[in-house]
Amino acid sequence: MEISTLATYHCLAFVWYFFVAYSITHIKTEERPSEVFLYGGQWKYLTVLNLVLQAVFYGVSFLADMLRLIKKLRCAKCVISSRDLLFSVLAFPVSTFVCISFWTLYSYNRELVYPRSLDRVIPFWLNHAMHTAVLPFALLEILALPHRYPAKRKGLILLGFVAFLYISWVLWIYSVTGEWVYPLFALFSPPGLAAFFAGSLAVIVSFYNFGEFLNRMIWGQSKFCL
């Protein structure tokens, strides 16, 4: 794909994610259901954090494209390294996890992850923008250009560290409020919850490996250049 085309795509994707993140974080206080959006606000939900992550990723990608267009290759190389690290370790596995885990649980029992009361607040299109469109965007990014993955150990350590931070945030919210971020968590005993978190981490690691596999199958090992 031509650099100018990539720049246009990444700019549009950045604007889209910024708009979606803005929409969900500016729901009027009086419209929010009493059982959600309390301590931690929207920032306790992985879905919302993922929207911010995607906006940052596409913003960095657009910056890399612009630096390449104006021939600032030394600066572009550094930004491209950051872009690839963001995509490989976080943007692809997290967006894939959000989409697949949400719709799996929603199909089983939506009250565990997305109570019906949210339908009065969050429009149908916004729900799909947050939970469905993130996966096609991630797959399109893999098709659009190659990404250099870090050494497997480094990538998994970074992914595990971010997962640890989010789990710690969820547990902190529970310790303060006595309420779980997602009603699903209340179904588990402490050992069961630990097993659930470990299983979720295993799933997101598998998505990391899947992204690396797709990237290698489509682009091979040698198509990384400025």
Give residue 151's identity as a one-letter amino acid code.
A
Provide the pLDDT for residue 120: 85
- The Cα–Cα gap between 26 and 32 comes to 11
Q: Is residue 224 part of a domain?
A: no
- The Cα–Cα gap between 9 and 68 comes to 15
Would you place residue 74 in the very low, low, confident or very high pLDDT band (cuts 50, 70, 90)? confident
- The Cα–Cα gap between 65 and 76 comes to 8
Helices 92-109 and 124-131, axial angle in degrees (round to 10): 130
Would you place residue 2 in the very low, low, confident or very high pLDDT band (cuts 50, 70, 90)? confident
Mean pLDDT of 48-65: 96
Provide the pLDDT for residue 166: 97
Provide the pLDDT for residue 177: 87
Domains identified in the chain, total number: 1
DSSP letters, the chain, are: --HHHHHHHHHHHHHHHHHHHHHHHT--GGGS-TTSS-TTGGGG-HHHHHHHHHHHHHHHHHHHHHHHHTT-HHHHHHHHHHHHHHIIIIIHHHHHHHHHHHHHHHHHHGGGTS-GGGGGTS-HHHHHHHHTTHHHHHHHHHHHS--PPPPHHHHHHHHHHHHHHHHHHHHHHHHHHS--SSGGGGGS-HHHHHHHHHHHHHHHHHHHHHHHHHHHHHH-SS----
Does position 224 have pLDDT exceeding 60, yes or no?
no
Tens-place pLDDT, residues 117-157:
888 888 999 999 999 999 999 999 999 999 999 999 999 99
Tens-place pLDDT, residues 152-210:
999 999 999 999 999 999 999 999 888 899 989 999 999 999 999 999 999 999 999 99
Mean pLDDT of 16-24: 94
Mean pLDDT of 20-36: 69
Q: Is residue 226 part of a domain?
A: no
Tens-place pLDDT, residues 96-116:
999 999 999 999 999 988 988
Neighbours of 53 (CB within 10 A): 21
Q: Is residue 76 part of a domain?
A: yes
pTM of the shown model: 0.91
Mean pLDDT of 64-81: 86
Task: Supply the range of the domain harboring residue 108.
Answer: 3-26+38-219
Q: Is residue 140 part of a domain?
A: yes
Q: Is residue 33 part of a domain?
A: no
Would you place residue 31 in the very low, low, confident or very high pLDDT band (cuts 50, 70, 90)? low
- Main-chain phi, psi angles of 97, to 5 degrees: -65, -45
Q: Is residue 31 part of a domain?
A: no
Q: Is residue 83 part of a domain?
A: yes
Q: Is residue 225 part of a domain?
A: no
